[in-house]
Amino acid sequence: MWTITYYSERVRTEVFSLPVGILAGYMRLLGVMEKFGADLRMPHSRAMGGGLFELRPRGHEGIGRVFYCTQMGQRIVILHSFIKKTQETPVTELRIARKRLKEVLDNG
């Protein structure tokens, strides 16, 4: 089994505040990752480079994105989430996720 952790309690709160349909999609994908690991593929997950990945939950409210990384010992760290409103992932959202990824990797 894989362990899911959150970068901070604030990140956990933000993720669980996603709209109900998107949250349901996230919970389904999380269950798959807990059981089988983080190696999901499109359309469920996408590698963003440098060890950063995004989960791609959908709901009737729209599309969510949840950034995560993996660590030794079968651990997945949820870094950031947001509701996607444009075709491209906003640079500010990516910047937040990459900063947190660096902190997680540096603190190993």
Residue-by-residue DSSP string for 52-84: EEEE--EETTEEEEEEEEEETTTEEEEEEEEEE
Given a contact cutoff of 8 angstroms between Cβ atoms, the answer to whether 53 and 47 are in contact is yes
Q: How many domains does the chain have?
A: 1
pTM of the model: 0.92
Q: How much of the chain exceeds pLDDT 70, in percent?
A: 99
What CATH number is attached to the domain comprising 45? 3.30.2310.20
Q: Examine the pLDDT at 21 and tell me if it is beyond 80.
A: yes
> Rounded to an integer, what distance in angstroms lies between the CA atom of residue 45 and that of residue 20?
19
Q: Is the pLDDT of residue 108 over 80?
A: no
What is the DSSP secondary structure assignment for residue 30, as one 8-state letter?
Answer: H
Domain that includes residue 30, residue range: 3-107
44 within 8 A of 95, measured Cβ to Cβ: no
Residue 71: pLDDT band (50, 70, 90) is confident
pLDDT in tens, 25-56: 999 999 999 888 887 888 889 999 999 999 99
